[in-house]
Structure 1
Amino acid sequence: MGQRNRSPGGLYGHFFGCFCAVLFWSLSSAQLRYSISEEVKEGTAVGNIAKDLGLDKSTLKERKYRIVSSDVDPPFQVNQNDGILYVSRKIDRENVCAQSSTCLLNVKTVLENPLEVHYVRIEVQDINDHSPTFQEKEISLEISESVFSGARFKLKAARDPDSGPFSVQQYKLDQNEHFRLEVRDSGEDGKIPILIVQKSLDRETAKRHSLVLTAVDGGKPPKTGSMNIQIDILDVNDNVPSFSSDAYSVTLRENALPGTKVIQVNATDLDDGSNGEVFYSLGKSMNQHILNLFDINPKTGEITVKGLIDYEERDKYELEIEASDKGFAPLTSEKSVNIKIIDVNDNAPEIEVTSFSSSIPEDSRPGTTVALISVNDRDSGLNGKVMCSMSEDIPFSLSPTIQDTIYSLITKSPLDREKQSHYDLTIFAKDTGQPSLSSEITISIFVSDVNDNSPEFVLSPYNFYLMEANEPGTSVFSVKAFDRDDNENSIISYQIARDGSENNKISSFLNINSETGEIVALKAFDFEILKTFQFHVVATDSG
């Protein structure tokens, strides 16, 4: 039940199980000390007060022994028959001695007849009946990813109502490569856990770390309590926006209307908040002409047509796109977008006449070149391939040359100015696009005269009658010839053939106007001498 030791005034001891008692004597009072573990069962003996005071049972029958006061409502009673002090109700050390490392309960007892006052001090010994607890089951910390290794973060300590070796003795942190734990002994405040960064943090790799901090007391077996630690890594603008594609290429039809979508680029930033918010722009180094043709939505990265796209002006473009974040010190990345323009058949063929002879002699041989015809179409491919043609019922044709875009306009049959002296030729040029476009040009060709026709008399032979005794020098007759040629080739002069033959002697008495063909008799004729005669008139052109 306990132990009793004799004090300097008469101390003796006796063991009562695991309990111990100490008796101090004085003239009017005595003091006893016992110890007992908390949480013992109700009725457990603390010590034999009567025996420790040297009283026998007969004395107890004559003198009443009772408890008169205590520090607290005493959880003890005294058996009046044997003087044993016992536990009257379960004792929770942490309730009765919350603020003390040593728990002592003072009880004042009185033995009557004669009156004796005895003081009993009972030490309640701690047992490991409580687990360590944290004030919060979970805490949240915010740590910047730029924090240096070795940074320290003091954590709230766990509390254990038990004392001495049963209080918190150590802390444990579950395994994490970025953090380690250090425990500092702060004397009365106990052991304080300190979280230390041991490896650099990267929010983009792990934006949150979940740790479990465990407090362990010194019991055997030990009791534990834990707290969850949620660590949110605060972002630093340390990532450049990254485009989703290594290369952007797209085709675009020319003449696309303003607002037409060309392509949408996309870039992401692993940072958080404004550090990860991306906006887009066209490169500042691009020339103004391209900036007038294309636009980009700063929020979505959608590139649209802004101006007139003309394949014939330029068949491809390279746009420089910038993706920037909205951090305090923005980071920017660049990417090129290659745009290939697709031709649309929007240009009609152009016809140009070079080396043109507007007049050609009628005696030109078939195959004679009249003009060179050049055709051009600013479109490409089939849209720019041009075919030329002309009417087939004319003495001209188009002959291809070694150059696809040049044709020779040549004669394909003999010309005859006297039949047709002028031609209006229409040349057609048509591309092979779908739908095709065409153009035409008309040129005028004049056939120049060649003296290829002899003069012809209106009548041949001419017969006329002459009255005898005519007056010399007067007109007797006129002839008329024509020439189908033109200009000088058609100007006719007349003369009388004088070859000296007998039949033509009479012609010496005649004269002819070379321009008009009027014939004049130079003498008077006598019917009785000459009844008939003939002569030749020659008509000559001026070719």
Structure 2
Amino acid sequence: FFFFLTGNTNNHFHIDASRGLISRGSQPLDREQQSSHVLEVEAFNSAPDTMKSSVRVIVYVEDVNDEVPVFTQRQYSRLGLKETAGIGTSVIVVRATDRDTGNGGLVTYKILSGSDGKFEIDEGTGLITTIDHLDYEIKTSYLMNVSATDLVLPYNRGYCSVYISLLNELDEAVQFTNASYEVVITENTPTGTEVVKIQARSADNLNQIIYKFDPNTSPQALSLFKIDSVTGIITIKGLVDREKGDFYMITVVADDGGPKKDSTVNRVSITILDVNDNNPEFDITSDSSVDVREDVAVGKRVAVVLARDQDTGENGLVSFAIIAGNIGETFKIQTTNTTYGEVFTRRSLDRELIDRYILTLQASDSGSQPRRKNHILVINILDVNDNPPVIQNPRSYNVSINENVGGGTSVTKVQATDSDIGVNSMLSYYIIRGNEDLTFRMDRVTGEIITRPSPPDRERQQFYSLSVTVEDDGTPSLS
């Protein structure tokens, strides 16, 4: 039998008549013109009474990024854009399409040349906006080259041009006598104090010049300063605090109200100098209570405090001192990076003498009239097993008892104390020599020596010299 292909217009496909293998034909495929092909394959046998059968084959053509973005216009024009258009003004929208699918059909826009830093384009929407002030007197028109690039290799690119002409306006500006104003004041300057006087002249010289702050002036600046609309004098109207702001750039607008409807702006920079009006403040991360072993080495850091001063310069440089509670000058404090106070041991510690130090630490700035803040640091001395038990009568205990006394009879009680605390002071008592016949036993906890059930017998032994050891439960144990 053999195969025959129908529906193959334009020779896009070919079929092997004997094997039925469908392959590409002589003509290239183009998904943008036809995304699928419906083929009909018929199979014939070679018998005299020819029989045949058919099957439908659908071939879907997958996209390849082979289309170039095409702009809706070769050149876009925006005529008569006002030279006073503000920054961010929408100018024109360019649009390109790409017949590919997926990312191959998406485009990004870019200004290649001609914008002179005055315009930018939204890479997703093609919207061109202004990013700088325009001036007809400097340049009257712009011719920009714009590209649209798809998002898949080989990144096909299309081009268009954008022509923008500016509209000349009556914009002869009011002229300030100074190009800019720089002012330095100290914080806490009283309200009503004059900061600077702004002066401007109008070439028209027709109307009174009106001074005002630019509408975009920050609310904080507006709360601190005001300008007289007639005299141009800027004065203080609020509490000037350098810690809330140390520099203000204020734009002043001078408007003569003439037929040109023009406004001229001038920038006034106001620098606030520091006054030492802030105390150092201890941070919440500062140590307030620490535990220190009594055997800590001399010179060991045991605590750290942190303090900052919002002032600047010498007024903001912080140093630390211990002003109270430092019994025997046991500790010292060292200032690091004008921010950290590190507490070190100066002498050996002994919990049995002092088990707690309550230090008053003071942070001081370096202003001409220093400001200070105190902080309490509690240092708890932890016990170390450095004291052996002490027997109250260390030389001897002399006791007489009758022979044949009953078992459990109290003979004497050894008593000892330990200056340590906790497990370091828990004591255990032992008979270590002299009780070889086990006539006596000793209560490990109380230290009481009592007879065992087998009574002492004077005829067998009339004198016992018992050696007793007392040891604590510390690590290592002391006895």
TM-score range, shorter chain: 0.5 to 0.7
What does residue 144 of structure 1 align with? none
What does residue 439 of structure 1 align with? 373
What does residue 240 of structure 2 align with? 309
What does residue 425 of structure 2 align with? 490
Residue 309 of structure 2 aligns with an amino acid whose one-letter code is D
Contact 1:507 1:535 in 2 (8 A): no
- TM-score in terms of structure 1 length: 0.52
For 1:40-439, list aligned pairs within 5 A. 240-272=173-205, 275-352=206-283, 353-354=285-286, 358-391=290-323, 393-401=328-336, 403-439=337-373
**Shift of residue 238, structure 1, vs aligned partner:** 9.2
Matched residue pairs, number?
299
Contact 2:289 2:377 in 1 (8 A): no
What does residue 466 of structure 2 align with? 535
Residue 433 of structure 1 aligns with an amino acid whose one-letter code is G
Residue by residue over 1:159-214, the C-alpha shift from the partner in whole angstroms, topping out at 9 and shown as x without a partner, is xxxxxxxxxxxxxxxxxxxxxxxxxxxxxxxxxxxxxxxxxxxxxxxxxxxxxxxx
What does residue 452 of structure 1 align with? 386
Structure 2 Cα separation of the partners of residues 439 and 276 of structure 1: 58
Structure 2 Cα separation of the partners of residues 418 and 336 of structure 1: 71
Contact 2:317 2:338 in 1 (8 A): no
The verdict on how the C-alpha distance between 1:253 and 1:505 changes in structure 2, with shifts beyond 3 A counting, is: closer
> Which of 459, 469, 481 is 2:416 aligned to?
481
Structure 2 Cα separation of the partners of residues 506 and 309 of structure 1: 92
The verdict on how the C-alpha distance between 1:441 and 1:357 changes in structure 2, with shifts beyond 3 A counting, is: closer
Task: Tell me whether 261-270 or 437-446 shows the greater mean CA deviation.
Answer: 261-270
**Shift of residue 376, structure 1, vs aligned partner:** 1.0
The verdict on how the C-alpha distance between 1:526 and 1:298 changes in structure 2, with shifts beyond 3 A counting, is: same
Identity %: 32
The verdict on how the C-alpha distance between 1:354 and 1:441 changes in structure 2, with shifts beyond 3 A counting, is: closer
Structure 2 Cα separation of the partners of residues 494 and 415 of structure 1: 30
Contact 2:172 2:260 in 1 (8 A): no
SS of aligned partner of 2:242 = coil
Contact 1:429 1:438 in 2 (8 A): yes
**Shift of residue 240, structure 1, vs aligned partner:** 4.0
Residue 351 of structure 2 aligns with an amino acid whose one-letter code is R
Structure 2 Cα separation of the partners of residues 531 and 238 of structure 1: 131
What does residue 472 of structure 1 align with? 407
**Shift of residue 507, structure 1, vs aligned partner:** 6.6
Structure 1 Cα separation of the partners of residues 428 and 437 of structure 2: 18
Structure 2 Cα separation of the partners of residues 432 and 505 of structure 1: 75
CA RMSD of aligned residues (A): 2.4
**Shift of residue 435, structure 1, vs aligned partner:** 2.4
Query: Which has the higher relative contact order, 1 or 2, with Cα contacts under 8 A spaced 6 or more apart?
Result: 2
Residue by residue over 1:38-80, the C-alpha shift from the partner in whole angstroms, topping out at 9 and shown as x without a partner, is xxxxxxxxxxxxxxxxxxxxxxxxxxxxxxxxxxxxxxxxxxx
Residue 267 of structure 2 aligns with an amino acid whose one-letter code is S
What does residue 50 of structure 2 align with? none
SS of aligned partner of 2:438 = helix
Contact 1:357 1:370 in 2 (8 A): no
Runs of 5+ consecutive residues of structure 2 not aligned to the other structure: 1-169, 475-479
Residue by residue over 1:466-515, the C-alpha shift from the partner in whole angstroms, topping out at 9 and shown as x without a partner, is 232333321121110111111001000111113xxxxx246721111110
Task: Tell me whether 513-522 or 406-415 shows the greater mean CA deviation.
Answer: 406-415
**Shift of residue 421, structure 1, vs aligned partner:** 1.1
Structure 2 Cα separation of the partners of residues 488 and 291 of structure 1: 69
Residue 446 of structure 2 aligns with an amino acid whose one-letter code is T
Structure 1 Cα separation of the partners of residues 243 and 260 of structure 2: 43
Contact 1:475 1:520 in 2 (8 A): yes
Residue 515 of structure 1 aligns with an amino acid whose one-letter code is V
Residue 442 of structure 2 aligns with an amino acid whose one-letter code is I
Residue 474 of structure 1 aligns with an amino acid whose one-letter code is T
- TM-score in terms of structure 2 length: 0.58
Structure 2 Cα separation of the partners of residues 355 and 383 of structure 1: 24
**Shift of residue 332, structure 1, vs aligned partner:** 2.3
